Structure 1
């Protein structure tokens, strides 16, 4: 969802996170990855303007940081 919100493809996110496209595909399938890999993906998305919303009764989610829309 975060990747789609900023209009990135798998290869775009992989490049920005410094990982392979296969790693992004594994992540999106819910496969287990190293914590450092997950942090690299999250950091790349946050740098692009994605804000992660914690669980608040309605489920966790993402939104774009104001000004990045």
Structure 2
């Protein structure tokens, strides 16, 4: 996505420390913050792929221009 931690925090309306601690593996955000982060990523084109025998994963949805959206 090429987002900074600050851009993700802003897009998800969560604190920067929430994103920093989650990315560093220091903590798992509270459920409402985790859902907000997931929704922000999905709105930007991230597709979360459920377990399908190969393990869960993510991919980016293509846009008409073949590019991905930047945070608002």
> When the two structures are superposed, what TM-score results if normalisation uses the length of structure 2?
0.78
Q: What are the equivalent positions in structure 2 for 1:1-69 lying under 5 Å apart?
A: 6-28=1-23, 29=25, 31-67=27-63, 69=67
Structure 2 residue runs of 5 or longer lacking an equivalent are: 68-72
* Structure with more helix by fraction: 1
Q: Which has the larger radius of gyration?
A: 2
Alpha-carbon separation, structure 2, partners of 1:50 and 1:32: 20
Structure 1 residue runs of 5 or longer lacking an equivalent are: 1-5
Deviations 1:11-60 (A, max 9, x none): 11001001111100122216232111100000000011100011112211
Alpha-carbon separation, structure 2, partners of 1:22 and 1:59: 29
> When the two structures are superposed, what TM-score results if normalisation uses the length of structure 1?
0.81
Give the CA RMSD over aligned residues: 1.5
